[in-house]
A = this chain, B = another copy of it.
């Protein structure tokens, strides 16, 4: 059986997002809060961001999916993330972990490892972050990877088997694995590395697909193809990062299932 999604997979998921506007509890960082909210609205979802201990679990319990992005932590936010993911697990709400800068900083590395007990459906990071979370000591420079994505495939597979999550390595080629299955996605454009929050946006979009999919592996593949094809469409209209950011949101709003199926390049 092929792992490649077909146009109907995109059509069913996109229609579900656009028709039901799933509530995505998007616990993300202060740098990308606006752009990830706009990306979720552009694809048709309903974003909400609550990162305090009084409310985070309450919102998680009714969300279509929860996204936990460790970009700009505080002790209060970390505690809220524990509560939200614990509740998400209890309420059977799927959640996605974006381990920003894990491996580069100790506090968040311990937090990310601890959150694994609440069973994320998807973990998405760059090669340095995935390697570090898998237990390899690789570092990374701040939020940027010092590894290319294929260098982390074995680590991703091991992490997927250990955590039960689908693991996504973002890079020039994105890899998606559940420990057994593995697929590479070659879409995207280099300018995406010059705009802040493209990885965080991939995680947010992953949350939107997760809210409407039974299969986290399929949700992850659809999300990464969407990011890549939309990025290519935007790069055809904008050659510099300011206008690219605008064009990206426009293209995400306008994308159709056929565009995604035709534009998809697997490897």
Residue A15 is within 8 A (CB to CB) of chain B in the complex: no
Residue A71 is within 8 A (CB to CB) of chain B in the complex: yes
- Asked if A141 and B46 sit within 8 Å, CB to CB, the answer is yes
Residue A137 is within 8 A (CB to CB) of chain B in the complex: no
Closest to A108 in B: B55
Q: How large is the interface on A (under 10, 10 to 19, 20 to 34, 35 or more residues)?
A: 35 or more
Number of copies: 3
Residue A143 is within 8 A (CB to CB) of chain B in the complex: yes
Contacts of A25 in B (CB 8 A): 142
Residue A178 is within 8 A (CB to CB) of chain B in the complex: no
Residue A163 is within 8 A (CB to CB) of chain B in the complex: no
Residue A267 is within 8 A (CB to CB) of chain B in the complex: no
Contacts of A243 in B (CB 8 A): 246-247, 250
Residue A49 is within 8 A (CB to CB) of chain B in the complex: yes
Residue A48 is within 8 A (CB to CB) of chain B in the complex: yes
Contacts of A38 in B (CB 8 A): 195-196, 241-242, 245
With A246-B242, A250-B240: A143-B73 Cβ-Cβ less than 8 Å: no
Closest to A100 in B: B48
State how many angstroms separate the Cβ of A23 from the closest Cβ of chain B: 5
Contacts of A247 in B (CB 8 A): 242-243
State how many angstroms separate the Cβ of A107 from the closest Cβ of chain B: 4
- Asked if A42 and B197 sit within 8 Å, CB to CB, the answer is no
Contacts of A74 in B (CB 8 A): 51-52, 76
A46-98 residues with Cβ-Cβ distance < 8 A to B are 46-55, 58-59, 63, 71-76
Q: How far is the CA of A105 from the CA of B25 in the complex (A)?
A: 13
- Asked if B240 and A59 sit within 8 Å, CB to CB, the answer is no
With A46-B144, A73-B52: A31-B37 Cβ-Cβ less than 8 Å: yes
With A52-B73, A247-B242, A250-B241: A143-B58 Cβ-Cβ less than 8 Å: no
Residue A1 is within 8 A (CB to CB) of chain B in the complex: no
State how many angstroms separate the Cβ of A124 from the closest Cβ of chain B: 18
- Asked if B242 and A23 sit within 8 Å, CB to CB, the answer is no
Residue from the set A42, A196, A253 with the largest chain B CB neighbour count within 10 Å: A196
With A196-B37, A250-B241: A54-B75 Cβ-Cβ less than 8 Å: yes
- For the complex with contacts A32-B34, A50-B73, 6 further pairs of A-B residues with Cβ separation under 8 Å are A34-B196, A37-B196, A46-B141, A46-B142, A49-B72, A245-B249
**Which 5 pairs of residues, A with B, have the shortest CB-CB distance?**
A242-B249, A48-B142, A240-B250, A54-B107, A37-B196
